[in-house]
Amino acid sequence: MELLIPDMALVVLIGASGSGKSTFARKHFAATQVLSSDFFRGLVSDDENDQAASADAFDALHHVAGKRLRRGLVTVVDATNVQREGRAELVKLARDNHVMPVAVVLDLPERVCQERNADRPDRDFGPHVVKRHVAQLRRSLPGLHREGFRRVHHLRGQEQVDAAVFSTERLRNDLRHETGPFDVIGDVHGCRAELEDLLGELGYRLRRDDRGRPVGATHPGGRRAVFVGDLVDRGPDTPGVLRLAMGMVGDGDAFAVCGNHEQKLVRALDGRNVKVTHGLAESLAQLEAEDPDFVAAARKFCDTLIAHYVLDGGKLVVAHAGLPEHYHGRASGKVRSFALYGDTTGETDEYGLPVRYPWAEDYRGAAMVLYGHTPTPEVEWVNGTMCLDTGCVFGGELTALRYPEREVVSVKAHETWYEPTRPLTPTRPPRQLALDDVLGKRVVETAVQGKVTVRGDQAAAALEVMSRFAVDPRWLLYLPPTMAPTEAHGDGDLLEHPAEAFAGFHARGVREVLCEEKHMGSRAVVLVTRDASVAPRRFDIEGDGAVHTRTGRSFFDAPLTAELLARVRSAVTAAGLWEELGTDWLLLDAELMPWNAKARELITDQYAAVGAAATAVLPPAVSALAAAAGRGVDVADLLARTSRRADNAVGFRDAYRRYCAPTTGLDGVRLAPFQVLASEGATYHRHPHLWHLGVADRLRAVDPLFAETRRIAVDTGSPESVAEGTAWWEALTAAGGEGMVVKPAANLVGAGRDLVQPGVKVRGAEYLRIIYGPDYPDHLDRLRKRNVAHKRSLALREYALGLAALDRVAAGEPLWRVHECVFAVLAMESEPVDPRL
């Protein structure tokens, strides 16, 4: 005896005490699926038979059941449930979570229940209790459907109980096994000719009957159409549209969800009292001219349409008016109502039409939601959702979205078939972020390192920086990761040396590395657009782009930023990169020089103050000690130490001055790009570093604003190549260079635990004076014990988050999804790590 239940359901067992409900539940369901009233009495009172604890027990049971149902899990309530009041609470719980309540009645003779209870020492109530349960059960049976149970399985006697076998079945809206590809088509509204045009553009071959009418369409590539509802009303040929759509659905070439106009048409055809407005009169008049059999088939077709579909493993949801995430795949009156009509604010506009609640602005689901219902002159992605109703019947266009390609295909209306009550105007909402998008503990999924956790305290620290100092988040597509230094050098007078960097990469199986000159400047991310029209369309913000630091702050004021972006744009144009990369915007990772262009306050307040104090105090001290030595005082050790400190102070002052230069506007400013991060529809972290530097060289060739990044390739398995790379670094640092960054030549290498550092820095001895202080050479033994493991772990996590942000940008994902990763990088920066590393 097969009992079917939906794979998302609340199963309510109903039966008198002694009917075997607990045994039945254990036989057919997993222990985690069954919530027993006896068990919950024990939880709250330590006595499963304490009837005085029933109220608290059921409160706890309902709470746990609600948590399970919100997660879409089959949940079984094991209690007598013979009283209508108790069942009503469970039906409400199912409705509140938009799942189907299913009743399973164990209807056994009273005699059997009495005998079983008599054999159980824990059942000390009298036979009158079982008698009352059986009577209540009998009274309940006729009304279970009216109470709201969508299915009632009535098992009469022990033989049927023993023969019962449960099977789960998909809800009718569950088409997760259908993976596409699909062509999702917006509101047709009786525009049969335009539908034919659109299907032709999409590559479908129409099938016609002997009268030449289209009765089906098949795609040679196996694609299928999905209609978002409102096939009918307003347009010139509702029967023709229905005939074509019904044929496609019947042949398996299409799916269709119900629209509010289909529902209203069914009610009108059934003779219900409906207002014949909004194009219904046209449909009824056109159907009057059709064969009654066709009208009956059309009525049945419209009446059996599902309110929404979940497709492609849950990645795609189609509903006429859209659908928030917590309704996806659910079944209730509220879900159907929202899918058909959407939600309103309770207000009306100046045309007397309801003001729709902008649910898409708050949408944060993983599934793409495609819908129609509210006509707009152009399609627009909003948080992973898109309205495909572009007002064909009102003289606009009929639009489809190719899935998964995300390609929009539209055809023009042949004419204005119906005058709109409200003019079609763009309804593009601004891209917004919410505090809930970033606050609290978050787990961000990345492609190269799996899940990365951001603690709540880190998020709070990042919010302070982001809200007070960062550029508009619509510009903020990426923040660079921190970079770890190489392991400390084991001997001599150097703290860092290329030998450890080369050996470290070789140990990870990376033979080909690229050594790039480390510019002494400030990390800069440059987002530049091809022209002024790009940013409003692509990033929903006016402007030419942004130039920001690795903490999201703007480098310059607005005029100087605009001047810098104009130079970058001209260089990208002259280098032919817009056409070559097929984009109208470009995101670059770069170093902006000189150091003082951004770090002037840091230099003045920290480094210059130390240098000035040391060079003012130590030379007189040396002179005084020298005079004392001349008088025969034994100060030789102190004099030597102080002289060395004086020399160190001069070296410290010369070190930071070396990286400072006067600037006026852009005069004196240099930009050294070293990575192309992203462009429209593409990321470049799988391109080798020489490709990226080649792009930088092309920019430098057309504008002296761009600085060269010197480089040398090294084979970590070749002693000769390693020696050549080491000599290159020695020459670079001896000439005053900061040092170099050693990177895997292939760029991204590995994933998960095998993810390789994107680069390690090897800094020169004189530059390290700035970092560790003038006298750091005297403390090399202590500094060699520094622990870089935490810094490297942090660098990998930030790297993974940055790549995830770029992947999401390239995929056209909503701003909140991109900013989830960007914000996480900034949050990671609050971790307590030695800033000198």
Q: Is the model's pLDDT at 84 over the cut of 80?
A: yes
Summarize the confidence of residues 782-808 as an average pLDDT.
92
Least confidently predicted of 60-74, 102-116, 198-212, 343-357 = 343-357
Higher pLDDT, 675 or 607: 675
Which structure tokens are listed for 286?
């056109």
82 with 103: CB under 8 angstroms? no
Alpha helices in 631-706 (DSSP H): 636-657, 689-702
Task: Report whether pLDDT(123) > 80.
Answer: no
Q: Is 332 exposed, middle or buried (0-12, 13-18, 19+ CB in 10 A)?
A: middle
Q: Give 118 or 415, the one with higher predicted confidence.
A: 415
The per-residue pLDDT for 604 is: 65
Q: What is the pTM of this model?
A: 0.77
Higher-pLDDT residue of 357 and 600 is 357
Q: In this predicted model, what pLDDT tens digit does every residue of 273-294 receive, in sequence order?
A: 888 888 899 999 999 999 999 9
Which residues, other chains included, contact 599 with Cβ-Cβ below 8 Å and sequence gap of 6+? 522
The pLDDT of residue 597: 64
Stretch 351-375: mean pLDDT: 84
CA distances (Å), origin 463, targets 434, 825, 828: 12, 12, 12
Region 657-686: mean pLDDT is 87
pLDDT above 90 coverage of the chain, percent: 68
Percent helix, percent strand, percent coil in the chain, to nearest 5: 45, 20, 35
- What's the pLDDT band for 422 if we cut at 50, 70, 90? confident
What is the per-residue pLDDT for 195? 98
Extract long-range pairs of 660-664: CB within 8 Å, 24+ residues apart. Answer: 660/594, 660/595, 660/596, 660/603, 661/593, 661/594, 661/596, 663/594, 663/596, 663/597
For 505-534, the pLDDT digits (tens) are 999 999 999 999 998 888 999 999 999 999
Q: What angle do CA 297, 299, 301 make, to 5 degrees?
A: 70
Residue 593: predicted pLDDT: 85
Greater confidence, 63 or 47? Answer: 63
Residue 679 φ/ψ, nearest 5 degrees? -145, -175
Residue 828 has pLDDT above 60, yes or no: yes
The string of pLDDT tens digits covering residues 457-484 is: 888 888 888 888 889 999 999 999 999 9
Q: Does pLDDT of 620 surpass 80?
A: yes
pLDDT in tens, 133-160: 999 999 999 999 999 998 999 999 999 9
3-state secondary structure of 273: coil
Q: What is the pLDDT of residue 609?
A: 72
